[in-house]
């Protein structure tokens, strides 16, 4: 170590002799010292950055603000974390408008009144031309309804200032949350207040009050409605010293008075109810934020969000989604009214992400979770206040709980009576309620001004409303009515008189339990035992409350099950399609008559989702507590109802809704127990989307590895190769897999091959009819025959097979000894290949049926196939060859299955080819009938002919061209 040190000293002396200045000597010593230290310790200096650290407090401030304001909330991170405030921000409409113009009006302004005013940009808020007194900074008050984007505008403003793109006239921007300031208990000076939040600015000269340095400062106070400000001189003393300790409210008041740092500019954001807390003389400019007032702004927001998909996501699908969404907005639909508020645009995007961009890598997200997150984003931790005063009983004053007890009660009444619109009188009845005290009236006034219009929007039916009355109100998003009604029920707000009375008595006895126990112990010594027993009954009230409470939880479970399995709703579309239609509208032919009654099928699903722990945790932050023992009681009662109802045969759409309920519930044990009673999952004709496939796979993954369905029917479900990959986990729990009439291609056969080659594969039957697999796909699929030991029935009808596939089938059949039935009907197989395939089936030890009808077979070929299908001499085993309704001069014993299959699929198949084959069948039947003299034989032939003619007539009826068959 010392030798190395001596070497570096010699090098240093050599450099010193060469150097000409003292400064170069110092630099050389610094470099050598650093190099020596790194060499001795084993570090390489090339791996270290050489730039100087930032020491300017303003630059440090900008860096820290950028980090803080770029942070995305959990509600955004759950979508993959690929959003940022810069890329997804769309500037809402900002107008210069005095609040007095808005008194008593809804925040959903008429477009005519908005369009007449010029809009402002954020840069114009502090335009110097509007400042009459150049020595004083401007006070700008930005007000707007809940959800219009006040906080988002502030976030973007701060980030843009840090980047140097706006407000270059301000050298220092200091954003504060009024909610944070309201919680400060000790008096604090302005400098300490700034230094406490921004430690690097403790000694900044801009806040010293000297000269006019404060003119370069912009204060931002966000959410003034959460802070108590008192401008009366007797309550808030005047102060001009930035170093004097004052309550936080007094600091803000003196800043706005321009008594403290008068040169500084101030931006205050608030809701409409709190605008009057600042006297008009202290505000230079009132500005209203109006949200997205036109479909083009809304489309810009949706484009910025929906086009930012995870890597590998097809942008074409997102563009198509945006176009459908924009068409619905242009119709001036209910959604367009809701998307006036950027918050509802967020909810729409979040829902569409869930429905269309779910994949196997996505985190578990539920529709209930999205709506609960939406509530937390807009009302997180808020309590309903009057003039900034917060009651000590925060649980009673929780704003979200107030919403549930008023708007939720209205929503529940609407669902009970199957109504989606409400009159002004009904709003007064349910939202106003029976208020008694001045405080309650003041709270109601604040609620009506700030919050009520967030949920309910006016809607004019122009005389089409079947219910009497003029203007009516609807929920901005239809699903919101079902969410709030579900929350109202699950929170136990729908109490009977007995429940309310019992709870009050129980709480009263609980508070005085010690006193009552002491009193009863004294009375028992001086009163006869029989009389004492009467007094002792008082102790039963808490137990009575527990019984009534338990009964109440059972009633909630019963309500969920009853609403879930309503017979009148059995033929509606599944609930996820209903949600999608409410966002994208109904495209194509519109129904002639508008229906005013709708099924509230999302309502019970939301009730189940609200019981999940993740949603309960978020609701607890909102002041809406659902206890674990309550969830346990509801779950126990619900299990019985679900198992009982699930054993009944449900329509495919209702079965899909049940799977969604189990998914939203997120209770693996309950899911597994309910699925044990289901032997068949028939989702035929349900339009499967990525989210539905994810739901099905996730729900079935809750079961044990030994659980197997008799059948999983996914025919006519619009399944693509991408969706097939998502369904992979579900396929491990079925014996019969039906994938007919989907959009599978040759590449899908690779995945199906791997599925059949799984060591624990239990699939006995796989139906792939009407998927264009071609010879290439079949060659991949047949690779599984050598390694599979479960497959017994393979249906490849109308899959684009040719002679090559038939020859390959004939070669590979010997590798699989379990196959019993092979269906290659309605393909492009000729006589030679068909004969080769039948010969291979005759040699196979277990195949008993081969379907070959509707192929390119000649009469000679059909006769040869009939002969080849006869019993073998050695084994006496016969292979059924279904090639036509006739076998020679006789009727095939399998004519009915053949015509039944053709009848079911004739509409979706090539009508010309089916018609041609049916005419061939008639010709064969007519020839066979002439070969027999027996009356009964002739009658049998005529019966089969009538079925063929009936199938032809149905084909004619469904045909758009209406071509005749030429049959007499």
Q: Determine the pLDDT at residue 305.
A: 83
Q: What DSSP designation does 434 have?
A: -
Q: Please report, for residues 198, 220, 259, the alpha-carbon distance to residue 190 in angstroms, rounded to integers and kept in the order given.
A: 12, 14, 13
pLDDT reading at 895 higher than 90: no
Structure tokens at 96: 């210069």
Task: Compute the distance between CA of residue 780 and CA of residue 747 in angstroms, rounded to an integer.
Answer: 9
What number is the average pLDDT over the span 504-517? Answer: 48
Residue 938 pLDDT level (bands cut at 50, 70, 90): confident
What number is the average pLDDT over the span 949-962? Answer: 70
Q: Determine the pLDDT at residue 396.
A: 53
Q: Determine the pLDDT at residue 909.
A: 74
Q: Please report, for residues 30, 31, 35, 231, the alpha-carbon distance to residue 20 in angstroms, rounded to integers and kept in the order given.
A: 16, 17, 22, 69
pLDDT reading at 420 higher than 50: yes
Q: Please report, for residues 307, 343, 585, the alpha-carbon distance to residue 323 in angstroms, rounded to integers and kept in the order given.
A: 12, 20, 11
Q: What DSSP designation does 73 have?
A: P
Residue 785 domain-assigned (yes or no): yes
Residue 960 pLDDT level (bands cut at 50, 70, 90): low
Domain identity same for 853 and 900: no
3-state secondary structure (DSSP) of residue 95: strand
What number is the average pLDDT over the span 250-267? Answer: 95
- Higher-scoring residue by pLDDT: 320, 54: 320
Domain identity same for 825 and 948: no
Q: Determine the pLDDT at residue 28.
A: 39
Residues forming a β-bridge with 173: 218
Task: Compute the distance between CA of residue 290 and CA of residue 287 in angstroms, rounded to an integer.
Answer: 10
Q: Determine the pLDDT at residue 72.
A: 75
Structure tokens at 300: 């810009």
- Higher-scoring residue by pLDDT: 547, 406: 406
pLDDT reading at 688 higher than 90: yes
Q: Determine the pLDDT at residue 916.
A: 75
- Higher-scoring residue by pLDDT: 930, 293: 293
Q: What percent of the chain has pLDDT over 90?
A: 39
Q: Determine the pLDDT at residue 870.
A: 56
3-state secondary structure (DSSP) of residue 58: helix
Placement of tokens 């693996």 in the chain: 668
Q: Please report, for residues 15, 41, 360, 788, the alpha-carbon distance to residue 1 in angstroms, rounded to integers and kept in the order given.
A: 22, 11, 58, 70
Sign for the CA dihedral angle at 808, 813, 816, 818 comes to positive
Residue 71 pLDDT level (bands cut at 50, 70, 90): confident
pLDDT reading at 389 higher than 80: no
Residues forming a β-bridge with 680: 711
Q: Please report, for residues 20, 899, 923, 942, the alpha-carbon distance to residue 936 in angstroms, rounded to integers and kept in the order given.
A: 128, 21, 19, 10
Task: Compute the distance between CA of residue 519 and CA of residue 530 in angstroms, rounded to an integer.
Answer: 17
pLDDT tens digit string along 322-375? 999 998 888 878 888 888 899 999 999 899 989 988 888 777 889 999 999 999
Q: Determine the pLDDT at residue 935.
A: 76
- Domain finish residue from 268, 290, 312: 290
Radius of gyration of the chain (CA): 38
Residues in the chain: 968
pLDDT reading at 922 higher than 90: no
Is-above-0.85 flag for pTM? no
Report the range of poorest mean pLDDT among 309-313, 603-607, 881-885: 309-313
Task: Tell me if 326 sits within 8 A of 352, measured CB to CB.
Answer: no
Structure tokens at 944: 């089969």
Interior angle at CA 550, CA 547 and CA 553, nearest 5:
155
Task: Tell me if 256 sits within 8 A of 139, measured CB to CB.
Answer: yes
- Domain finish residue from 307, 322, 357: 357
Domain identity same for 285 and 344: no
pLDDT reading at 704 higher than 60: yes
Domain identity same for 779 and 903: no
Q: Determine the pLDDT at residue 727.
A: 94
- Higher-scoring residue by pLDDT: 373, 593: 373
- Higher-scoring residue by pLDDT: 878, 123: 123
Domain identity same for 170 and 205: yes
Domain identity same for 67 and 211: yes
| Interstrand relation of 734-738 and 765-767 (parallel, antiparallel or unpaired) | parallel
- Higher-scoring residue by pLDDT: 124, 933: 124
Domain identity same for 825 and 878: yes
Q: Determine the pLDDT at residue 246.
A: 93
Q: Determine the pLDDT at residue 381.
A: 73
Structure tokens at 644: 């009982």
Strands (E), 349-493: 421-422, 456-459, 472-475
Residue 619 domain-assigned (yes or no): no
Which DSSP string corresponds to 773-833?
-HHHHHHHHGGGTTT-S---EEE-TTS---HHHHHHHHHHGGG-S---EEE--SS---HHH
What number is the average pLDDT over the span 847-869? Answer: 83
Closest CA to 201 of 63, 68, 70: 63
Residue 582 domain-assigned (yes or no): no
Report the range of poorest mean pLDDT among 17-26, 586-595, 687-696, 698-707: 17-26
**Residue 14 neighbours by CB distance under 10 Å:** 11
- Total domains in the chain come to 4
Domain limits for position 182: 57-107+117-290
Residue 362 domain-assigned (yes or no): no
Task: Compute the distance between CA of residue 676 and CA of residue 679 in angstroms, rounded to an integer.
Answer: 7
Q: What torsion, rounded to 10 degrees, do the Cα atoms 124, 130, 134, 138 define? A: -60
Task: Compute the distance between CA of residue 289 and CA of residue 119 in angstroms, rounded to an integer.
Answer: 10
Report the range of poorest mean pLDDT among 314-318, 347-351, 549-553, 887-891: 549-553
Average pLDDT, the chain: 80
pLDDT tens digit string along 480-508? 999 999 999 999 887 644 444 444 444 44
Residues 6 or more apart in contact with residue 893 via CB below 8 angstroms: none
Residue 728 domain-assigned (yes or no): yes
pLDDT reading at 965 higher than 50: no
Q: What DSSP designation does 769 have?
A: T
Q: Determine the pLDDT at residue 751.
A: 94
Residue 295 pLDDT level (bands cut at 50, 70, 90): confident
pLDDT tens digit string along 625-651? 988 888 988 898 889 889 988 888 889
pLDDT reading at 12 higher than 60: no
Report the range of poorest mean pLDDT among 653-657, 802-806, 843-847, 902-906: 902-906
Placement of tokens 């009366």 in the chain: 232
Q: What DSSP designation does 264 have?
A: -
Residue 771 domain-assigned (yes or no): yes
Domain identity same for 285 and 301: no
Residue 787 domain-assigned (yes or no): yes
Q: Determine the pLDDT at residue 30.
A: 43
Domain identity same for 210 and 337: no
Q: Determine the pLDDT at residue 6.
A: 42
pLDDT reading at 15 higher than 80: no
Q: Determine the pLDDT at residue 528.
A: 57
pLDDT reading at 46 higher than 60: no
* H-type alpha helices, 289-408: 295-306, 315-330, 334-338, 342-356, 367-379, 399-403
**Residue 4 neighbours by CB distance under 10 Å:** 11
Residue 690 pLDDT level (bands cut at 50, 70, 90): very high
Task: Tell me if 773 sits within 8 A of 745, measured CB to CB.
Answer: yes
End-to-end Cα separation, the chain, in angstroms: 113
Q: Determine the pLDDT at residue 245.
A: 94
- Domain finish residue from 259, 275, 290: 290
Residue 115 pLDDT level (bands cut at 50, 70, 90): low
pLDDT reading at 39 higher than 50: no
pLDDT tens digit string along 558-573? 888 888 787 766 667 8
Domain identity same for 916 and 862: no
Report the range of poorest mean pLDDT among 304-313, 767-776, 928-937: 304-313
Query: Could you tell me the CATH number of the domain that includes residue 800?
Result: 3.80.10.10
Task: Compute the distance between CA of residue 227 and CA of residue 236 in angstroms, rounded to an integer.
Answer: 14
pLDDT tens digit string along 203-231? 899 998 888 889 999 999 999 998 889 99
3-state secondary structure (DSSP) of residue 933: coil
Domain identity same for 192 and 339: no
What number is the average pLDDT over the span 2-30? Answer: 42
Give every strand in the sheet of 472-475, ordered side by side. Answer: 421-422, 472-475, 456-459
Residue 891 pLDDT level (bands cut at 50, 70, 90): confident
Task: Compute the distance between CA of residue 278 and CA of residue 300 in angstroms, rounded to an integer.
Answer: 35
Placement of tokens 């059924």 in the chain: 880
Task: Tell me if 367 sits within 8 A of 354, measured CB to CB.
Answer: yes
Residue 99 domain-assigned (yes or no): yes
Query: Could you tell me the CATH number of the domain that includes residue 128?
Result: 3.40.50.300
Domain identity same for 282 and 137: yes
Task: Tell me if 142 sits within 8 A of 268, measured CB to CB.
Answer: yes
Closest CA to 384 of 400, 366, 408: 400
Q: Determine the pLDDT at residue 538.
A: 47
Q: Please report, for residues 32, 683, 790, 828, the alpha-carbon distance to residue 680 in angstroms, rounded to integers and kept in the order given.
A: 79, 10, 19, 33
């Amino acid at each position: 170590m010392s030798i190395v040190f001596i070497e570096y000293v010699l090098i240093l002396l050599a450099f010193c002799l060469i150097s000409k200045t003292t400064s170069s000597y110092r630099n050389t010593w610094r470099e050598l010292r650093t190099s020596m230290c790194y060499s001795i310790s084993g570090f390489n200096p090339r791996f270290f950055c050489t730039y100087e650290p930032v020491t300017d407090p303003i630059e440090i401030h900008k860096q820290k603000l950028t980090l803080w304001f770029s942070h995305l909330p959990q509600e955004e991170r759950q979508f993959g974390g690929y959003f940022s405030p810069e890329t997804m921000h769309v500037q809402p409409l900002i107008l210069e408008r005095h609040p007095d113009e808005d008194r008593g009006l809804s925040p959903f302004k008429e477009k005519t009144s908005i369009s007449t005013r010029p809009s402002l940009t954020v840069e114009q808020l502090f335009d110097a031309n509007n400042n009459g007194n150049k020595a004083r900074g401007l006070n700008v008050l930005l007000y707007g309804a809940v959800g219009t984007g006040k906080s988002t505008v502030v976030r973007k403003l701060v980030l843009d200032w840090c980047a140097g793109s706006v407000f270059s006239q301000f050298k220092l921007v200091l954003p504060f949350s009024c909610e944070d300031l309201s919680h400060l208990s000790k008096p604090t000076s302005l400098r300490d207040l700034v230094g406490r939040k921004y430690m690097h600015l403790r000694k900044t000269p801009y806040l010293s009050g000297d000269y006019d340095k404060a003119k370069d400062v912009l204060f931002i106070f966000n959410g003034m409605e959460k802070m108590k400000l008192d401008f009366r001189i007797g309550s808030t003393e005047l102060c001009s010293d930035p170093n004097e300790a004052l309550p936080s409210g007094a600091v803000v008041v003196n800043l706005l008075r321009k008594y403290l740092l008068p040169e500084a500019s101030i931006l205050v954001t608030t809701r409409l109810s709190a605008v009057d807390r600042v006297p008009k003389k202290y505000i230079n400019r009132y500005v209203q934020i109006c949200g997205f007032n036109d479909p083009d702004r809304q489309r810009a927001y949706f484009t910025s969000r929906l086009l930012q998909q995870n890597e590998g996501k097809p942008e074409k699908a997102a563009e198509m989604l945006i176009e459908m969404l924009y068409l619905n907005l242009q119709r001036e639909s209910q959604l367009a009214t809701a998307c006036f508020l950027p918050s509802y645009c967020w909810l729409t995007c979040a829902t569409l992400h869930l429905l269309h961009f779910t994949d196997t890598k996505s985190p578990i997200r539920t529709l209930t979770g999205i709506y609960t997150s939406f509530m937390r984003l807009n009302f997180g931790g808020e309590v309903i206040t009057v003039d900034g005063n917060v009651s000590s009983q925060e649980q009673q004053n929780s704003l979200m709980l107030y919403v549930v007890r008023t708007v939720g009660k209205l929503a529940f009444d609407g669902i009970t009576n199957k109504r989606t619109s409400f009159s002004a009188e009904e709003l007064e009845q349910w939202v106003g309620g029976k208020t008694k005290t001045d405080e309650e009236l003041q709270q109601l006034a604040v609620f009506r001004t700030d919050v009520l219009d967030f949920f309910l929007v006016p809607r004019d039916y122009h005389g089409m409303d079947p219910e009497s009355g003029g203007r009516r109100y609807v929920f901005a998003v239809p699903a919101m009515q079902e969410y709030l009604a579900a929350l109202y029920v699950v929170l136990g707000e729908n109490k009977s008189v007995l429940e309310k009375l019992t709870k009050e008595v129980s709480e009263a006895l609980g508070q005085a339990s010690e006193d009552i126990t002491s009193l009863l112990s004294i009375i028992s010594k001086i009163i006869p035992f029989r009389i004492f027993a009467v007094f002792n009954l008082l102790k039963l009230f808490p137990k009575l409350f527990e019984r009534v409470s338990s009964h109440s939880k059972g009633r909630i479970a019963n309500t969920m099950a009853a609403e879930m399995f309503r017979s009148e709703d059995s033929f509606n579309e599944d609930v996820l399609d209903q949600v999608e239609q409410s966002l994208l509208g109904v495209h194509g032919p519109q129904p002639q008559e508008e229906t005013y009654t709708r099924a509230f099928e999302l309502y019970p699903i939301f009730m189940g989702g609200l019981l999940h722990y993740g949603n309960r945790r978020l609701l607890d932050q909102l002041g809406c507590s659902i206890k674990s023992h309550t969830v346990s009681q509801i779950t126990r009662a619900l299990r019985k109802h679900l198992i009982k109802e699930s054993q009944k045969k449900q329509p495919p759409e209702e079965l899909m809704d049940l799977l969604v309920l189990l998914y939203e519930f997120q209770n693996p044990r309950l899911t597994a127990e309910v699925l044990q009673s289901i032997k068949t999952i028939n989702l035929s004709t349900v339009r499967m989307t990525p989210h539905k496939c994810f739901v099905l796979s996730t729900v079935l993954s809750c079961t044990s590895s030994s659980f197997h369905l008799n059948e999983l029917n996914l025919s006519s479900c619009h399944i693509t190769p991408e969706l097939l990959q998502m369904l992979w986990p579900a396929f491990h729990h079925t014996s019969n897999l039906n994938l007919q009439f989907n959009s599978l291609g040759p590449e899908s056969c690779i995945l199906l091959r791997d599925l059949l080659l799984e060591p624990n594969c239990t699939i006995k039957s796989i139906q792939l009819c009407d998927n264009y697999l071609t010879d290439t796909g079949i060659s991949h699929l047949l690779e599984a025959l050598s390694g599979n030991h479960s497959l017994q029935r393979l249906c490849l009808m109308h899959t684009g097979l040719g002679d090559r596939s038939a020859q390959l089938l004939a070669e590979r059949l010997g590798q699989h000894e379990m196959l019993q039935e092979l269906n290659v009907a309605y393909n492009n197989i000729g006589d030679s290949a068909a004969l080769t395939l039948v010969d291979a089936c005759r040699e196979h030890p277990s195949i008993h049926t081969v379907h070959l009808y509707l192929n390119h077979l000649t009469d000679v070929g059909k006769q040869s196939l009939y002969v080849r299908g006869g019993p073998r001499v050695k084994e006496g085993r016969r292979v059924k060859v279904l090639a036509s309704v006739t076998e020679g001069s006789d009727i095939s014993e399998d004519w009915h299955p053949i015509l039944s299959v053709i009848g079911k699929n004739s509409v979706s198949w090539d009508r010309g080819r089916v018609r041609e084959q049916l005419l061939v069948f008639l010709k064969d039947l007519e020839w066979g009938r002439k070969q027999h003299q027996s009356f009964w034989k002739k009658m049998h032939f005529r019966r089969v002919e009538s079925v063929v003619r009936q199938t032809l007539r149905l084909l004619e009826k469904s045909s758009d061209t209406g071509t005749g068959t030429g049959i007499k």
